[in-house]
Amino acid sequence: MVTLKEIAEICNVSATTVSNVINGKAKTSEETKNKILKVIKETGYKPNVMAQGLRIKRTKTIAIIAEDIAQFTSPAIIESIMEKCEQHGYRVVVHNLRLYDRWADKWYKQYEDYHSVLDPVIRDVLSSQVDGVIYIAGHARVIKAFNDNFELPVVMCYAYSESPDVPSVVIDDEQSAYEMVTYLIENGHRRIGFVGGRSENIHTAQRLLGYQRAMYENGLLFDPKLVYYGDWSRESGYDGAKKLVPQGLTAIFGISDKMTGGIYDYLEENGITVGKDISVAGFDNETISAFFRPQLTTTELPLQEIGRASAVLLLDKLENAKGEKASSSEPYVEKIMCKMVIRQSVRKIKT
């Protein structure tokens, strides 16, 4: 059986150059590349598939790497990616890092723990003959694991990348929160509490910006004392309401439905009726929000749209611009709007 080294000798190039051509790395001239591919074909050379990945042949398979499929956002994103890829004749395999399941929210800054889980999956993906990768984050942040020299096309989903070669698809947190707060203001509300997630979190920061812009554009003072930072849990929503409601609010905006469930808990315990004595808005449109009483007015995450857009970006890379490097030095970011879901928890009041 002919070896990679022998191919290199026949072509009068280094073994590395042959390897680069086999692995689809774009560092070789078109002429050399064609010569090598011709010799490979003539000699019937078969690279070790498990070790190197037979990149000459597209497998029409895509790998999803999900930070955690049990995050409520993940299944819908995964399924819409799959649907779009299948429409284009691609199969999809899912790798699940299970980060939240392993470490709850304790892994965000644990570089080594994170890589101890991610790296074997990346090795697996690289050796398993997929054409490209979509990485699905559990929450928005800048993810640096895929740099300019990564061997496969990658799209970042629900988070930001650092590399111009890795485009990303995220939700428009700022504009979506802006619209909800504008809706509250249109309904006569002036003193609106804000129960955020962790303060260093991108979702929290962006949604707070949207809240502030809506206040500003309506000529309303921003009172920092009406902002509370929770940790996304129901309990922290309760604590937020306890801190903010006694300051005299007519409305309260919880930036996750789960935290808003805790706001409802506090209000019920204190005999304050939602949708009558106080208006409440949530964020996420999780299944739970339609079972709140009264049902919660909230903001629906465009999970299907995020998934589809990520798939379109990757398919485009695979089918239209193989091996091409990004022309901009900034990563491309596609922001997708959320949609308000108006139910019964917000009431119009006299201004």
Which part of the chain contacts a second copy (CB under 8 A), choosing from 10-18, 46-54, 105-113, 165-173?
Answer: 46-54
The answer to the question of residue 341 lying near a second copy (CB under 8 A) is no
| Least distance in angstroms from the C-beta of 330 to a second copy | 33
H helices of the chain, in order, are 4-11, 15-22, 30-43, 49-52, 74-87, 99-103, 111-127, 173-186, 202-217, 234-244, 257-269, 303-320
Q: Which is nearer to a second copy, 136 or 184 (CB)?
A: 136
Q: How far is residue 274's CA from residue 289's CA, in Å, rounded to a whole number? A: 13
Angle at 158 between CA 148 and CA 259, to 5 degrees: 145
| Least distance in angstroms from the C-beta of 184 to a second copy | 22
Which residues, other chains included, contact 125 with Cβ-Cβ below 8 Å and sequence gap of 6+?
63, 65, 95, 133, 152
| Least distance in angstroms from the C-beta of 288 to a second copy | 5
| Least distance in angstroms from the C-beta of 293 to a second copy | 5
Burial of 48 (C-beta count, 10 Å sphere; 0-12/13-18/19+): exposed
Which part of the chain contacts a second copy (CB under 8 A), choosing from 174-182, 241-249, 276-284, 288-296?
Answer: 288-296
The answer to the question of residue 82 lying near a second copy (CB under 8 A) is yes
Q: Which is nearer to a second copy, 128 or 187 (CB)?
A: 128
Adjacent-strand bridge partners of 135: 65, 156
Which residues, other chains included, contact 196 with Cβ-Cβ below 8 Å and sequence gap of 6+?
204, 207, 208, 227, 228, 229, 230, 255
Q: Which helix (H) or strand (E) holds 23?
A: none
Q: Which is nearer to a second copy, 46 or 106 (CB)?
A: 46
Q: Which is nearer to a second copy, 87 or 110 (CB)?
A: 87
| Least distance in angstroms from the C-beta of 18 to a second copy | 18
Q: Which is nearer to a second copy, 119 or 223 (CB)?
A: 119
Q: How far is residue 270's CA from residue 112's CA, in Å, rounded to a whole number? A: 46
| Residue choice 124, 151, 162, 334 for contact with a second copy (CB under 8 A) | 124
Burial of 342 (C-beta count, 10 Å sphere; 0-12/13-18/19+): exposed
The answer to the question of residue 324 lying near a second copy (CB under 8 A) is no
The answer to the question of residue 41 lying near a second copy (CB under 8 A) is no
Q: Which is nearer to a second copy, 167 or 307 (CB)?
A: 307
Nearest to 280 by CA among 300, 258, 301, 298: 298
The answer to the question of residue 233 lying near a second copy (CB under 8 A) is no
| Residue choice 17, 20, 96, 212 for contact with a second copy (CB under 8 A) | 96
The answer to the question of residue 18 lying near a second copy (CB under 8 A) is no
The answer to the question of residue 308 lying near a second copy (CB under 8 A) is no
Placement of tokens 């190197």 in the chain:
52
Which part of the chain contacts a second copy (CB under 8 A), choosing from 13-21, 73-81, 144-152, 216-224?
Answer: 73-81
The answer to the question of residue 95 lying near a second copy (CB under 8 A) is yes
Adjacent-strand bridge partners of 133: 63, 154
| Residue choice 56, 93, 312, 340 for contact with a second copy (CB under 8 A) | 93
| Least distance in angstroms from the C-beta of 86 to a second copy | 8
For residue 65, give the amino acid letter.
I
Residue pair 207/176 in contact by the 8 Å Cβ criterion: yes
Q: Which helix (H) or strand (E) holds 73?
A: none
Residue pair 344/281 in contact by the 8 Å Cβ criterion: no
Q: Return the structure tokens found at 123.
A: 């090795």
Which part of the chain contacts a second copy (CB under 8 A), choosing from 72-80, 190-198, 241-249, 311-319?
Answer: 72-80
Residues contributing to the site for a second copy (CB under 8 A): 1, 44, 46, 49-50, 54, 61, 68-70, 74-76, 78-79, 82-83, 91-96, 98, 101, 120, 124, 128-129, 261, 264, 268, 286-288, 291-293
